[in-house]
Amino acid sequence: MTFYQRRPRTGATATRASASKTQASAALASALQALRGPFIVADLETTGLSTATCEILEFAAVRVETCGTLAREYTQVVRTAAPVPSFITRLTGITQAEVDRHGVPVMQAFSSFLEFVEDLPVFFHNASFDRRFLGAAADRTGMPFANATHCTLALARRAWPELPSHKLDILARHVGASNPTHRALADVRTTVAVALAANARLALAGQA
């Protein structure tokens, strides 16, 4: 049997841990402030995971007013440069025929998305993923995306730490929302329900 002696935390490690905790608390406070509304909840469907080789396939967003009501919706399929991969069609239901029939160039779709979100804070589930693709779209089109962004995944982890997973489908069942389908607008509607439920839960816990 081998025993391992825990090394004492160094000053630098303790400082980094303290800074990380402070940043997380600040991010939570900022997100909860943004949830007072109005705010945007958005989602992207993409042709894969890499911004270097994959494209945005669909934009969707919902504007939520101060009272928590859904005011307006935006959704648009993008005419991608490359064919829609078959595994993406199986996952999302978005076919090449739909892209050919209803898709618009990414510059047009991105411009409409930016017009819709205005300067409001934008929530995504797993925001780092969507931010990377929006950043790539901004670089390619020359249209910056400068909105404050927040992550409902991080909110859910704070609201329901007891859950074994905070994937959107599990959260949907937990809060009684519609099940996500991997179509952007349907997933946005589910994310709105999760965000509002997390806000209410954190308010009860005295964190909102």
What is the tally of helices (H) and strands (E) in the chain?
8, 5
Strand-pairing partners, residue 46, are: 56
Residue 200 one-letter amino acid: A
Is 182 tagged catalytic?
yes
CA distance 131 to 149: 8
The single residue of 102, 150, 174, 182 carrying the catalytic annotation is: 182
Sheet holding 39-46, edge to edge: 70-77, 56-64, 39-46, 122-124, 149-151
- Catalytic residue positions, numbered: 182
